Amino acid sequence: TLRRKLSAIKQYLSFAKSENWIEVNPAVKITGPKKEFTLPQILSEADVEKLILASYSYGKNKFEISKNAAMLELLYCTGMRVTELVSLLAKPFSINPQFILIKGKGSKERIVPISRPAKNAVKDWLTQKEKLPRIKESKFLFPAKSSSGHMSREVFFRLLKKIAVHANLDASQISP
């Protein structure tokens, strides 16, 4: 970008002045283009409903469908980051909680409420998860065969795009 190129030139000229290769740094008074701040793209309430509804019918089997529904319901009702979602532990959900403790960026913790539809979706997902012994034993709510033991952000991002297409939404406009 222009800003990065300008920064490199200014740093080089600053170095040249400090090494006495030049007497005056001509880049001192140059200002670069301002960074444009754009508002984030948001979905309409109807589009969010379509996306969540599509998660209840997207997947190869009941197992995948219940996992997709639980993930989207939780993401929407809690407002947590994707990394926080995919790394959730399963244990807090075994007692049908009203709130869950989320450990976020910078190891900061916060308590968030869980909506009834999200609780029902997670309950259904845990029932499906119990049917598979290798997955049942995982401490994560959304386990995977990865080194971390849980689904990655990237996998969830791709899944969300597929669910958006299934909901007849423009996938390029959808992000977690």
Question: pLDDT per residue over 114-152, tens digit each?
Answer: 999 999 999 999 999 888 877 767 889 999 888 888 899
Residues 112 and 114: their CA atoms lie apart, in Å, by: 7
> CA torsion 87→91→94→95, rounded to 10°?
-110
Percent of the chain surpassing pLDDT 90: 59
The distance of Cα 150 from the centroid of its chain, to the nearest Å, equals 14
Query: 76-103: per-residue pLDDT in tens?
Result: 999 999 999 999 988 888 887 899 988 8
Rounded to two decimals, the pTM is 0.75
As a whole number, the mean pLDDT across the chain is 90
Mean predicted confidence (pLDDT) in 6-23: 93
pLDDT computed for residue 118 by the predictor: 94
**C-alpha dihedral sign at 83, 86, 91, 97:** positive
Asked whether the CA dihedral 154, 159, 164, 165 is positive or negative, the reply is positive
CB 112 within 8 A of CB 100: yes
Q: Are 175 and 48 in contact (CB under 8 A)?
A: no
Map 47-95 to HEC letters.
HHHHHHHHHCCCCCCHHHHHHHHHHHHHHHHHCCCHHHHHCCECHHHHH
